């Protein structure tokens, strides 16, 4: 298989999976849209956790900024979806950039604590700014104009799903390109040994800020998609709890690989959906048990495990 074939194959996975999911779950398109949006935010988290090696519990700050930004824009400025998406991305990037200036000189536990602190400060600001943000009632009554002026958002979430899936697909293709770029290579080097990159003349701080801002922009896109398709934005989108949830999804799927984030979001959301239907009270126990099993038996997550399995079936030694 040539690199070109592999690239085309990889690019086809998301569209094919989207069609398959739409056929298998014809009456659950709104749920599928949620999966695509969640996959997008997990993908953005993977940039920080997997590629830059920075464990964070504050990723919701950017997702929430995108959600509130897009919601306010739709309510007060213009309910056009694509410009709203851009507003969400910019909101996420802005929060990420400003917090990166504070965050990116710290490491490890200090970094982790600061991500929590920044998220909680933002949460409280939004919570207290009731007049603008609706406080703990959130923002609702978001009614979007047709996408591209043509496609109406429907009650069943059909358009929502395809809209989210296309954005996810485009971002995924962009990230595949970026991860393989000089910037992506340097980011991984900084993760492995930042000081060593500095001895070669690399600007560690600059790299981290740029990466965090990029990640924040994507998280902001996801937040905007959520606001536009669910039509409600609540404080949960800005919470440390949500940050932890998406971190769990990433670890389940496999951090450091773009596929890992996608798989993790899909599996987590499916388990959540069905386990919560069977037992709405204790479904988190299922998730916990599965997570423990993955951490113990599949240190590289579901995707790492899948890859090892495929390699074994092909009779190749694992890389």
Instruction: Report the interface residues with other proteins, using CB under 8 A.
Output: 177-178, 181-183, 185-186, 188-189, 191-193, 195-204, 206-207, 210, 319
- Closest contact distance (angstroms) between CB of 201 and other proteins is 4
Q: How far apart are CA 227 and CA 84, in angstroms?
A: 10
Between 136 and 193, whose beta carbon lies closer to other proteins? 193
Between 18 and 221, whose beta carbon lies closer to other proteins? 221
Between 50 and 253, whose beta carbon lies closer to other proteins? 50
Between 184 and 305, whose beta carbon lies closer to other proteins? 184
- Closest contact distance (angstroms) between CB of 53 and other proteins is 10
Q: How far apart are CA 138 and CA 230, in angstroms?
A: 12
Could you tell me how far CA 14 lies from the centroid of its own chain? Answer: 15
Between 195 and 277, whose beta carbon lies closer to other proteins? 195
- Closest contact distance (angstroms) between CB of 67 and other proteins is 27
Structure tokens at 188: 């991984």
Could you tell me how far CA 185 lies from the centroid of its own chain? Answer: 21
Between 24 and 200, whose beta carbon lies closer to other proteins? 200
- Closest contact distance (angstroms) between CB of 136 and other proteins is 40
- Closest contact distance (angstroms) between CB of 81 and other proteins is 26
Q: What is the per-residue burial (b if ≥16 Cβ within 10 Å, else e) of 49-83?
A: bbbbbbebbbbbbbbbbbbbbbbbbbbeeebbbee
- Closest contact distance (angstroms) between CB of 92 and other proteins is 18
When computed from its CA atoms, the radius of gyration of the chain, rounded to whole angstroms, is 19
Q: How far apart are CA 68 and CA 86, in angstroms?
A: 13
Between 191 and 272, whose beta carbon lies closer to other proteins? 191
Structure tokens at 50: 């997997």
Angle in degrees, 0-180, between the axes of helices 182-199 and 204-230, rounded to the nearest 10: 140
- Closest contact distance (angstroms) between CB of 50 and other proteins is 11
- Closest contact distance (angstroms) between CB of 80 and other proteins is 28
Between 162 and 212, whose beta carbon lies closer to other proteins? 212
């Amino acid at each position: 298989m040539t690199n070109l074939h592999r690239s085309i194959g990889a690019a086809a996975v998301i569209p094919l999976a989207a069609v398959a999911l739409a056929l298998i779950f014809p009456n659950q398109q709104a749920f599928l849209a949620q999966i695509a949006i969640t996959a997008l935010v997990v993908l953005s988290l993977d940039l920080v956790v997997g590629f830059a090696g920075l464990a964070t519990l504050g990723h919701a700050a950017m997702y929430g900024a995108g959600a509130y930004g897009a919601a306010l824009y739709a309510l007060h400025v213009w309910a056009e979806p694509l410009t709203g998406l851009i507003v969400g991305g910019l909101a996420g990037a802005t929060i990420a950039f400003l917090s990166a200036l504070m965050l990116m000189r710290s490491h490890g536990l200090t970094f982790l604590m600061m991500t929590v602190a920044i998220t909680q400060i933002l949460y409280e600001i939004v919570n207290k700014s009731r007049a603008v943000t609706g406080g703990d009632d959130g923002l609702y009554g978001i009614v979007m104009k047709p996408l591209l002026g043509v496609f109406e958002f429907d009650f069943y979430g059909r358009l929502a799903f395809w809209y989210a899936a296309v954005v996810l697909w485009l971002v995924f293709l962009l990230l595949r390109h970026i991860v393989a770029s000089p910037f992506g290579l340097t980011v991984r080097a900084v993760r492995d040994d930042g000081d060593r990159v500095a001895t070669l003349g690399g600007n560690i701080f600059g790299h981290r800020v740029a990466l965090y801002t990029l990640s924040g922009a994507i998280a902001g896109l996801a937040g905007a998609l959520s606001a536009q398709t669910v039509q409600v934005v609540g404080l949960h989108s800005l919470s440390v709890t949500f940050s932890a949830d998406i971190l769990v999804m990433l670890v389940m799927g496999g951090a450091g690989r773009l596929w890992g984030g996608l798989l993790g979001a899909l599996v987590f959301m499916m388990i959540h959906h069905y386990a919560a239907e069977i037992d709405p009270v204790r479904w988190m126990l299922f998730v916990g048990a599965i997570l423990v099993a993955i951490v113990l038996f599949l240190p590289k997550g579901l995707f790492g495990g899948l890859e090892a399995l495929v390699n074994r079936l092909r009779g190749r030694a694992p890389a």
